């Protein structure tokens, strides 16, 4: 290899001297680097590397490393090792899956009293298969069968966890509908048990693996909400929404129930639960209404739901119990609105604002003539009719005792130029005059 023995002699313009020197330095460094790499490659080619040990168990699987190996060969060897590890994981996962499937099939043929232990063993093997097949297509099947095995083993906690892991890690998987159906069944079992046994947060479950530690209904509602979140357009999304709303109503949590029902009415417009969502939504809004001292937004929303129910569901309202229930709700909405107007009118009357009170009473009679507050409105109108519309200002004479902040009117008018003309010697202009202020 040739090296630079003489300095470079170049005529450089003074303004370009610095730039040219830096360029020469970079070229020299580049040449030195290439020389070093060529020398290292020659030395590596002459070096005899030891053979790389094989990890295979049989002679056919053993791979020998060539005596001279380049960095590309090392990369290919590493990739082969990674691929071999994935293949071995997949083989172990398949082996565990086949064993678990055999146990699952055997358990289905046993009597009900004996199948639980075998289903549990199958679930454990499916769990091992899912761990080995992490990130592979086989993991979906293993997770689903794990949930199925624990479901039939009556270990509903592990079954729920397996199905929820499947729905979370693999959205839109081929088992979505069946996994959602199992989760829905688990939540319904917990809700039914809580309703029958009188569940509470203080009741702990320490031995039964088919139920959570405590607070059954809250865990069931959480499962239902997760079904809606995992597959919002699935077959059971509207059913889960309706079931969660009903349970919130049973618990007296009308705020959460109203949120679920509103979501059902707006999101699942073609759901079979639309009629009940409207009826229960009216009841929730009336239950949330706090009285005449507060806003009437909930009353307006309830009134809108009443009108929508009458227009959209005439066939369902032919049934007497539904028609009677809707009529009661409509009457309550009207009563609450009249109560709100009467309260506001009484408040204005107490402040001697009889004009505003009369307007509110008149509005009550116009909009709600058949409510009990209508008689009160008629009597109040007859009583406050001759009274002044607004109260007089008390102690009006005191305003004349103290000076006013307003500007006083002018006392006399004087010509504008009269004073100025005398001082400056200019004739005054009688046509214009300026006020003389105090």
- CA-to-CA distance for 175 and 143, rounded, in angstroms? 10
Give 66-114 pLDDT, tens digit per residue. Answer: 455 565 555 555 545 455 567 888 889 999 999 999 999 999 999 888 8
Query: What pLDDT was estimated at residue 76?
Result: 56
Tokens at residue 143, please?
A: 């997770």
Please give the C-alpha separations between residue 435 and each of 4, 131, 410, 417, 438, in angstroms, as whole numbers. 104, 100, 6, 12, 10
**Ranges assigned E (strand) in 255-369:** none
Tell which wins on pLDDT, 48 or 250.
Answer: 250
- CA-to-CA distance for 281 and 272, rounded, in angstroms? 15
Contact 210, 156 (CB under 8 A): yes
- Classify residue 361 by burial, with Cβ atoms within 10 Å: 0-12, 13-18, 19+: buried
The CA-based dihedral angle spanning residues 232, 234, 240, 241, taken in that order and rounded to the nearest 10 degrees: 40
Query: What pLDDT was estimated at residue 18?
Result: 44
- Classify residue 79 by burial, with Cβ atoms within 10 Å: 0-12, 13-18, 19+: exposed
Is residue 141 included in any domain, yes or no? yes
Residue 412, φ and ψ in degrees, nearest 5 = -135, 160
Max CA-CA distance within the chain? 133
Is residue 121 included in any domain, yes or no? yes
Tell which wins on pLDDT, 238 or 205.
Answer: 238
Query: What pLDDT was estimated at residue 61?
Result: 45
User: pTM score, two decimals?
Assistant: 0.69
pLDDT at 26 over 70: no
First to last CA, the chain: 110
415 three-class SS: strand
Q: CB count, 10 Å around CB of 188?
A: 15
Radius of gyration of the chain (CA): 44
How many residues can be counted in the chain?
438
- Classify residue 52 by burial, with Cβ atoms within 10 Å: 0-12, 13-18, 19+: middle
Is residue 161 included in any domain, yes or no? no
262: CB partners within 8 A, 6+ apart: 281
Number of domains in the chain: 1
Tokens at residue 426, please?
A: 């200019």
- CA-to-CA distance for 274 and 322, rounded, in angstroms? 14
Q: 412-415 and 433-436: which strand pairing?
A: antiparallel
Q: Which helix (H) or strand (E) holds 142?
A: helix 137-152
pLDDT at 368 over 90: yes
Average pLDDT over residues 306-320: 96
Is residue 148 included in any domain, yes or no? yes
Please name the residue ranges forming H helices in 170-236. Answer: 176-197, 216-230
- CA-to-CA distance for 225 and 233, rounded, in angstroms? 13
Over the range 298-330, which residues count as b (16 or more CB within 10 Å of their CB) and which as e?
Answer: bbebbbebbeebeeebeebbeeeebeeebeebb
**Where is average pLDDT lowest: 36-45, 152-161, 336-345?**
36-45
Is residue 118 included in any domain, yes or no? yes
Give 272-284 pLDDT, tens digit per residue. Answer: 999 999 999 999 9
- CA-to-CA distance for 193 and 217, rounded, in angstroms? 9
- CA-to-CA distance for 83 and 76, rounded, in angstroms? 10
**Where is average pLDDT lowest: 171-180, 199-208, 351-360?**
199-208
Tokens at residue 97, please?
A: 């899956």
Is residue 390 included in any domain, yes or no? no
Is residue 419 included in any domain, yes or no? no
- CA-to-CA distance for 141 and 126, rounded, in angstroms? 9
Band of pLDDT at residue 196, cut at 50, 70 and 90: confident
Give 339-363 pLDDT, tens digit per residue. Answer: 999 999 999 999 888 999 999 999 9
Residue 429, φ and ψ in degrees, nearest 5 = -110, 105
Average pLDDT over residues 361-370: 93
Percentage of the chain lying above the pLDDT 90 cut: 56
Is residue 88 included in any domain, yes or no? yes
The domain of 119 spans 81-154
Q: In which residue are the tokens 């007859």 written?
A: 382
Query: What pLDDT was estimated at residue 12?
Result: 42
213: CB partners within 8 A, 6+ apart: 204, 205, 206
13 three-class SS: coil
β partners of residue 177: none
């Amino acid at each position: 290899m040739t090296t630079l023995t003489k300095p470079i002699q170049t005529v450089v313009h003074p303004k370009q001297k610095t730039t040219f020197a830096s360029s020469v330095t970079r070229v020299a460094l580049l040449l030195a680097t290439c020389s070093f790499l060529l020398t290292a490659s020659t030395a590596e080619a002459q070096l005899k590397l030891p053979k790389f040990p094989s990890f295979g168990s049989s002679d056919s699987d053993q791979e020998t490393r060539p005596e001279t190996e380049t960095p590309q060969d090392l990369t290919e060897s590493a990739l082969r090792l990674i691929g071999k590890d994935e293949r071995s994981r997949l083989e172990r996962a398949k082996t565990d899956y086949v064993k678990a499937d055999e146990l699952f099939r055997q358990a289905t043929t046993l009597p009900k009293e004996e199948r639980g232990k075998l289903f549990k063993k199958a679930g454990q093997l499916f769990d091992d298969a899912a761990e080995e097949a992490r990130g592979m297509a086989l993991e979906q099947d293993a997770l689903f069968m794990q949930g199925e095995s624990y479901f039939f083993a009556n270990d509903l906690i592990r079954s729920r966890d397996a199905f929820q892991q499947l729905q979370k890690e693999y959205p839109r998987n081929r088992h979505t509908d069946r996994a959602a159906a199992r989760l829905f069944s688990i939540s319904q079992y917990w809700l039914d048990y809580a309703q029958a046994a009188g569940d509470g947060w203080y009741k702990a479950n320490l031995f039964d693996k088919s139920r959570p530690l405590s607070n059954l209904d809250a865990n069931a509602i959480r499962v239902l909400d997760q079904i809606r979140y995992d597959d919002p357009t699935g077959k059971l999304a509207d059913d889960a929404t309706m079931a969660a709303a009903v349970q919130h109503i049973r618990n007296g949590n009308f705020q959460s129930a109203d949120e679920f029902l509103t979501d059902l009415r707006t999101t699942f417009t073609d759901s079979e639960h639309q009629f009940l969502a409207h009826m229960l939504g009216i009841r929730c809004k009336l239950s949330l209404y706090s009285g005449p001292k507060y806003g009437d937004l909930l009353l307006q929303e309830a009134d809108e739901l009443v009108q929508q129910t009458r227009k959209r569901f005439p066939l369902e309202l032919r049934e007497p119990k539904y028609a009677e229930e809707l009529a009661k709700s409509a009457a309550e909405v009207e009563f609450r609105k009249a109560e709100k107007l009467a309260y506001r009118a009484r408040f204005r009357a107490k402040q001697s604002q009889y004009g505003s009170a009369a307007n509110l009473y008149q509005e009550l009679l116009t909009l709600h003539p058949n409510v009990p507050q209508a008689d009160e409105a008629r009597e109040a109108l007859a009583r406050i009719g001759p009274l002044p519309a607004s109260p007089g200002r008390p102690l009006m004479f005191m305003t004349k005792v103290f000076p006013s902040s307003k500007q006083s009117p002018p006392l006399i008018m004087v010509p504008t130029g009269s004073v100025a003309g005398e001082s400056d010697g200019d004739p005054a202009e009688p046509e214009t005059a300026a006020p003389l202020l105090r």
